[in-house]
Amino acid sequence: MKPILLKVAGLQSYREQQEIDFGSLTETGLFGIFGPTGSGKSSLLDAITLAMYGKVERAVNGTQGIMNHSEDQLSVAFTFELTSSSGPRRYRVERKFKRTGDQSVSNTISRFIEITADGDHVMADKLADVTRCVEEHIGLKMDDFTRAVVLPQGKFAEFLSLRGVDRRQMLQRLFHLEQYGDGLALKLSRRVKENEAALRALEAEQQGLGSAGKADVEAAAERLQEAVRQAADCRKRLDEAVQRAERYARIRELQDERARREEQRQALLAQEADILLLEQKLGKSDEAGKMLPALKAWRSAEEAWKSRLARAEGQEVQA
């Protein structure tokens, strides 16, 4: 990050608006800020931090007591430049505050702006969104920024004495190495847990299957062969049982048929007397049928005789 321009008004000892053009200061590549104690050197670093993150590291609660006692408004605007693969890009962060108490202030305006040849483009205009844009673009949170960029008075020893975890995390954010640091560690931890879970599942399955040594495999092969032989024997016995079942089923069908025929025979035997009587009647009917022509002839002759007799009697009467 290369500082370009800082504007500050109402911050601590800077009551009137002040502008610091870092462009002219950085022409030689290195510059210094000098002055007696209380002249406002640290306030310039506070102004940069306030513009970037909305609070000051050495102030109570981040903003308490930062406003000049004679002012009710505070404003900061910091322009900086970042270099990327596509070339340098400039941004400006603006923040304004108003007094809400003797020591307290509240934010009224926050803006993150990209400066281009076509003009200014506001990328965020809310307090939290502006801070998030700053962190995303420079890759540093406020703690990292105050330790690595604008190291306040008395903080150099703290920077040198950072613990391994804090130092590693700060360097990760500073050089965008999260995917190779904590991100990679998280992935490795997740993979280790997954492998441990898979190992426990395999061990549980192995315990369910039992031992799988050479002797166990040979014993299992022998048991398999014995099981195959038993299966073949069972299949043979099953075929024989099926054949017997089919034979017995045929016998059972014949027995059922025999029983039905016996029932019919018994029913006929029970009707034998009636059948004999019908046979007798049928025999007499045959005999009567044989005598029927003679009977008819006799009846015809009788009728003819009666007719002749009647005619004869009629003639006698007439005579």
Has residue 296 been placed in a domain? no
Has residue 46 been placed in a domain? yes
From first CA to last CA, the distance across the chain in angstroms is: 180
pLDDT, tens only, 268-308:
888 888 888 887 888 777 777 777 787 788 888 888 888 88
Q: Name the band, by pLDDT with cuts 50, 70 and 90, for residue 151.
A: low
Has residue 133 been placed in a domain? yes
Has residue 19 been placed in a domain? yes
Has residue 180 been placed in a domain? no
Nearest Cα to Cα of residue 126 among 54, 26, 62: 54
Taking the C-alpha atoms of residue 15 and residue 9, their distance in angstroms, rounded to an integer, is 6
Residue 7 pairs in a beta bridge with: 19, 77
52 has pLDDT over 70: yes
Query: How many domains does one find in the chain?
Result: 1
The CATH number assigned to the domain holding 55 equals 3.40.50.300
Quick one: CA dihedral 184, 187, 189, 191, positive or negative? Answer: negative
* Cut 0.85: pTM above it: no
Has residue 111 been placed in a domain? yes
For residue 103, the enclosing domain spans 2-138
> What's the whole-number average pLDDT of the chain?
83
Has residue 199 been placed in a domain? no
pLDDT at position 273 is: 82
Residues 6 or more apart whose Cβ sits within 8 Å of residue 173? 139, 140, 141, 144
pLDDT at position 301 is: 83
pLDDT, tens only, 229-265:
999 999 999 999 889 989 998 999 999 999 999 988 8
58 burial level (CB within 10 Å; 0-12, 13-18, 19+): middle
Tokens of 141: 């949170």
Has residue 236 been placed in a domain? no
Amino acid letter, residue 157: A
